[in-house]
Amino acid sequence: MSDILVMVFCTLGAIFILISAIGIYRMPDFYTRLSVTVKASTLGVGFILIAVAYYFYEFAVSTKVFAIIFFLFITSPVAAFMISRTAYVSGTKLWKTTTVDEETELEVGDEELEAKLEKEEEKESETNR
């Protein structure tokens, strides 16, 4: 039974990593490629690590594997956000049919402007209620 679980988790992991690779090829711009790649590859590696934990089935190995999965799921979205934010500020172009660009006025170090825009959005949402 555990061999079947290991095969299922490894297959799921490989499928998600394949989706990640296809996403790099199929998506139109840097930002969507990054989004697809981070989400799918994180899940793929997570499933493969779960298969490793089931295969070895020792407390020390399982603990390390679940710690790795935890840190992977915590750090991957943050790293993707920082990479995309840096790419945006450095001028990487959006896809030609992108209709919403909420950060057109922002640059590196514009935290005050960002806070001001957030306050304005809060005021607008309160007045619309």
DSSP string for residues in 16-48: HHHHHHHHHHH-SSHHHHHHHHHHHHHHHHHHH
Instruction: Compute, in degrees rounded to 10, the torsion defined by CA atoms 106, 107, 108, 110.
Output: -50
- Tell me the C-alpha to C-alpha distance, in Å, between residue 63 and each of 40, 57, 107: 23, 10, 42
Which are the contacts of 73, defined by CB distance < 8 A and separation ≥ 6? 42, 46
Q: Which pLDDT score, from 0 to 100, does residue 100 have?
A: 65
Question: How confident is the model over 2-57, as pLDDT tens digits?
Answer: 889 999 999 999 999 999 999 888 888 888 888 889 999 999 999 999 999 999 98
- Give which of 16, 17, 11, 7 is closest to 55, Cα–Cα: 7
Tokens describing residue 56: 């070895």
Residue 128: phi, psi to the nearest 5? -80, -10
* Site of tokens 């070895």: 56
Q: Which pLDDT score, from 0 to 100, does residue 89 have?
A: 80
Question: How confident is the model over 61-91, as pLDDT tens digits?
Answer: 999 999 999 999 999 999 999 998 888 888 7
